[in-house]
Amino acid sequence: MPVNKELIAKEEYCSINNIEVAFIDRLYEYGLLEIRSVEQRHFIHLDQLQTLERFTRLHYDLDINMEGIDAIANLLERVKTMQQEIQELKSRLHIYSIE
């Protein structure tokens, strides 16, 4: 049973999704997932579920190893950062454009 509505127990998530607890542990070790400890139990915050589901699909459906998932996660983060920079630059350019 979750401590609050924003956390799900690591074991519960694994049971529901039929995945290994060790997979979650490896994601944590690689720094790809945050795990919160409450009263000696480990929980995943709900705001990380979308990312966790993406990693789960990459690993279990596409058979991508942890090193591959780490590389993909880094590339996706770089793309996200670049998209934000592009939006900022477009906003700056808009100031100087004549309409």
CATH number of domain containing 62: 1.10.1660.10
Lowest mean pLDDT among 1-5, 76-80, 91-95: 1-5
16: in domain: yes
Number of domains in the chain: 1
44: in domain: yes
Higher-confidence residue of 5 and 22: namely 22
pLDDT digits (tens, 9 = 90+) for 7-32: 999 999 999 999 999 999 999 999 99
38: in domain: yes
Q: Is 46 exposed, middle or buried (0-12, 13-18, 19+ CB in 10 A)?
A: middle
What does residue 44 show for φ and ψ, rounded to 5 degrees? Answer: -115, 130
The predicted pLDDT at position 5 comes to 82
| The model's pTM | 0.78
83: in domain: yes
Element housing 82 (H / E): helix 66-96
What is the domain range of residue 77? 7-96
Element housing 36 (H / E): strand 36-38
40: in domain: yes
pLDDT digits (tens, 9 = 90+) for 50-91: 999 999 999 999 999 999 999 999 999 999 999 999 999 999
The predicted pLDDT at position 24 comes to 95
